[in-house]
Amino acid sequence: MRVRLMTTATFSLLVHYVVLTLFFTFSLSINNAIKGTFAGNRNNVTGVNGELPQVSLSYRVDRVRYPSPSKRNMRSLGSYM
């Protein structure tokens, strides 16, 4: 009786672990699909140079990768033009 109880408990824990892992992976991928955090061109699936989309886990990371152009950056750009 005791052995059967142990196997039931471990099996239940295993099932919970698998279900939760699947749920978290799916929720992450759905969240990224909704936000559309793709590298490069956000309207297209492929990026600027035709590379595959690199899905980032958070929107904040994406913002760091593409900072907004400041006045100082624009001034340095103007010297090249």
Could you read off the pLDDT of 61-75 as tens digits, one per residue? 445 555 555 555 555
Q: What is d(CA 34, CA 45) in angstroms, rounded to the nearest whole number?
A: 13
Residues 6+ apart with CB under 8 A from 39: 47, 51, 53, 54, 56, 62, 65
Predicted confidence at residue 40, as pLDDT, reads 44
Q: Is the pLDDT of residue 5 over 80?
A: no
- Segment 32-51 shows an average pLDDT of 54
Residue 47: burial class (beta carbons within 10 Å; 0-12, 13-18, 19+): middle
Would you list the domain boundaries of the chain?
A: 1-35, 37-81
Report which of 41, 35, 29 is spatially closest to residue 61, judged by C-alpha positions: 35
